[in-house]
Amino acid sequence: MTERLDKLIASQGKLSRSDVKKMVKSSRVTVDGAVVKSADIKVDADKSVISVDGKALNYKKNIYIMLNKPQGVISASNDKTQKTVVDLVPPELYRDGLFPAGRLDGDTVGFVLITDDGDFAHRILSPKNHIMKTYHATLRSPLTEEDISAFKNGIELSDGTLCLEAEVRMLEKTDEPIAEVKICEGKYHQVKRMFAALGNKVLYLKRVRMGGLDLDESLEEGQCREITAEELLLLSEKN
């Protein structure tokens, strides 16, 4: 698909359209090796090599970023008063239109997918597609066998909302029991409300996996990195 050259270069996040126009005027932009005279020519970025100052643009239609979210940051694109997950995206990965695909509560930590691809986000999040989101939940009390069956049968929240079948298992049976929970929906405060419906309480919550893709534990809280093409396939895995 062809698009205006200035729009196309600016969509990659590092330059504005007026920057591009100025660069074209100074003969700093080439398409397939030929110096471009006008910033509004139409170019197909999948077929042509666009270069700025002799450096080929690594054009990507969309970007997919893994963030290890810290507490105290909200799952939004922008906010007047509070820091958002998109504020944590470093300039080299930033572009307009980024948003978090699904929300984690302010006090929940872990894997947030940030992208500018609305269709992909919808596919990942839709319960119909059965892409599981995996959480580690530190609980006030250990799980019982009845709790495990309740998760499997679909928990009814205190307001009567029914949850789809989910999986839960105990990871650690210490003073601070930790359970692993897998859900394919994203209802408001869902994991906390599921445990509350069973008379338990979530003390700390971390999302550790989306689909078949684990949170990269080498990312410190607050750090991001781009998701590779292979990882994107894992992310879309039903499980």
CB of 239 to ligand URA, least distance (A): 17
Strand, coil or helix: 173: coil
Q: Which is nearer to ligand URA, 36 or 104 (CB)?
A: 104
- Tell me how far, at minimum, the Cβ of 205 lies from ligand URA, in Å: 6
- Give 184's DSSP letter: S
Interface residue with ligand URA among 21, 136, 192, 206 (CB under 6 A) is 192
Query: Residue 123 belongs to what H/E stretch?
Result: helix 118-125
Distance CA 94, CA 63 (A): 9
Q: Which one of residues 52, 163, 191, 235 is an interface residue with ligand URA (CB under 6 A)?
A: 191
3-state class (DSSP) for residue 210? strand
Closest CB to ligand URA among 3 and 221? 221
CA distance 211 to 236: 6
For ligand URA, the closer CB: 13 or 177: 177
Tell which phi-psi region holds residue 72, choosing left (phi > 0), alpha (psi between -120 and 50) or beta. left
Closest distance between ligand URA and the C-beta of residue 108, in Å? Answer: 3
Tell me which residues in 131-190 interact with ligand URA (CB under 6 A).
Answer: 189-190
205 lies in the binding site for ligand URA (CB under 6 A):
yes
Plot region of 75 (φ>0 → left; ψ -120 to 50 → alpha; else → beta): beta
Q: Is 105 a catalytic residue?
A: yes
Residue from 108, 115, 134, 200 binding ligand URA (CB under 6 A): 108
Q: Choose one: 50-58, 102-110, 121-129, 151-159; the region binding ligand URA (CB under 6 A).
A: 102-110
Do the beta carbons of residue 85 and residue 69 sit within 8 Å?
yes
Q: Is 24 in the site for ligand URA (CB under 6 A)?
A: no
CB 159, min distance to ligand URA, A: 14
Tell me the residue type at 83.
K
Structure tokens at 201: 């309480």
Q: How many residues bind ligand URA (CB under 6 A)?
A: 8
Residue 110 near residue 168, CB atoms below 8 Å:
no
Catalytic entry in 87, 105, 214, 216? 105
By DSSP bridging, strand 55-56 and strand 2-4 are unpaired
43 or 191: CB nearest ligand URA: 191
69 touching ligand URA, by CB under 6 A: no
Structure tokens that stand for 105 in this block: 């509560």
Instruction: Give the angle subtended at the CA of 3 by the CAs of 54 and 53, to the nearest 5°.
Output: 10
| Residues in 214-233 that interact with ligand URA by CB under 6 A | none
Q: Name the residues that contact ligand URA, by CB under 6 A.
A: 104-105, 108, 189-192, 205
**Residues with active-site annotation:** 105
